[in-house]
């Protein structure tokens, strides 16, 4: 079954280079009309120019595709609304949003300036919120939408020196979890992509042969699946070097220990059993945790 995007309109943020550029080219190669957004700033978010976005637009057009450039900062809610309106004015709809824009301000937590923490959260989290909220009413009206959040192994599993980046990337998973529930009745499917790719953010951090294996193009197939008509919903898809995995936030069966003065001691003594992963599940909503807890309490006679 071929994945194609004829008559679809996509917005890709942070698409002036690296992974975002490959996302834009990949969507365009399969027929999508692509609005290429990029502030044109440095890796740390400084500066800005629409030149990077226009360069990718020129590439797409040279290959026979349709594309528009946009230089809005995803941190500027009004500019983001204008970006979405640009796509609507040109093509009448928005079917796909790939929230890819991001910056790095790496430093160990003890040495990190709070301004750098806030800025990374603002770009990654609020940037995705601004873009998603701007496209949402259009997707609801047309009863169709595919939204890809870019998370990271740094958020899912942690990485030294990236407390701000990791917190932001895990926040996007939480955003995806709820939006995938709220959007389902409108056929708006929301997923997360956790890429491992060599971009200007990773220059100098890995050996050359590893960087070649982790070329950004190797991640694009995962994005295309998440952006496609037959996309899943609420999936955290990981990709790098042509390898693909799925990450899950799971819940162990747990133990009912009651609530009394000695509960902390019983919990400490049996914590390994509580954490045991045999029989773990992937809850489909937050309510399933509470249902499991109350169910076990009632099964034990709901004793205090």
- 165 as an active site residue: the answer is yes
List own/partner pairs for 45-52 with CB under 8 A and 24 or more apart: 45/103, 45/105, 45/119, 45/123, 48/73, 51/16, 52/16, 52/17
Bridge partner residues of 245 (DSSP): 238
C-alpha 37/C-alpha 158 separation (Å) is: 28
Average pLDDT of every residue of the chain: 94
**pLDDT band at residue 43 under the 50/70/90 scheme:** low
The single residue of 117, 136, 144, 165 carrying the catalytic annotation is: 165
pTM for this structure?
0.94
The 10s digit of each residue's pLDDT in 54-100 is 999 999 999 999 999 999 999 999 999 999 999 999 999 999 999 99
C-alpha 147/C-alpha 10 separation (Å) is: 10
Topology given in CATH for the domain delimited by 9-247: Rossmann fold (3.40.50)
**pLDDT band at residue 304 under the 50/70/90 scheme:** very low
C-alpha 175/C-alpha 235 separation (Å) is: 12
Bridge partner residues of 178 (DSSP): none
Domain range summary for the chain, segments of one domain joined by +: 9-247, 250-304
The 10s digit of each residue's pLDDT in 248-301 is 999 999 999 999 999 999 999 999 999 999 999 999 999 999 999 999 999 988
The 10s digit of each residue's pLDDT in 191-201 is 999 999 886 65
Decide: residue 215, CB within 10 A, 0-12 exposed, 13-18 middle, 19+ buried.
middle
């Amino acid at each position: 079954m071929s994945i194609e995007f004829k008559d679809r309109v996509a917005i890709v943020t942070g698409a002036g280079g690296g992974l975002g550029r490959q996302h834009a080219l990949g969507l365009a190669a399969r027929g999508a009309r692509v609005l290429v957004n990029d502030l044109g700033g440095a890796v740390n978010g400084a500066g800005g120019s629409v030149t990077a976005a226009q360069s990718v637009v020129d590439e797409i057009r040279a290959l026979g595709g349709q594309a528009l450039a946009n230089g809005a900062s995803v941190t500027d809610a009004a500019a983001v609304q204008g970006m979405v309106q640009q796509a609507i004015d040109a093509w009448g709809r928005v079917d796909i949003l790939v929230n890819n824009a991001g910056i790095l301000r790496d430093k160990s937590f003890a040495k990190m300036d709070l301004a750098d923490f806030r800025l990374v959260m603002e770009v990654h989290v609020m940037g995705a919120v601004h873009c998603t909220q701007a496209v949402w009413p259009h997707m609801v009206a047309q009863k169709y939408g595919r939204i890809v959040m870019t998370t990271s192994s740094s958020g899912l599993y942690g990485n030294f020196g990236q407390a701000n980046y990791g917190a932001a990337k895990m926040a996007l998973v939480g955003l995806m979890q709820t939006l995938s529930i709220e959007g389902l009745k409108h056929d708006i499917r929301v997923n997360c992509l956790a890429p491992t790719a060599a971009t200007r953010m990773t220059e100098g951090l890995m050996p050359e042969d590893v960087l070649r294996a982790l070329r950004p193009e190797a991640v694009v197939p995962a994005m295309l699946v998440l952006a496609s008509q037959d996309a899943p919903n609420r999936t955290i898809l990981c990709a790098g070097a042509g390898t693909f995995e799925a990450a899950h936030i799971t819940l162990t069966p747990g133990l009912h220990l009651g609530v009394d003065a000695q509960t902390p001691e019983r919990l400490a003594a049996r914590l390994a059993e509580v954490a045991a992963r045999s029989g773990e599940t992937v809850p489909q909503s937050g309510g399933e945790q509470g249902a499991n807890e109350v169910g076990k309490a009632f099964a034990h006679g709901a004793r205090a």
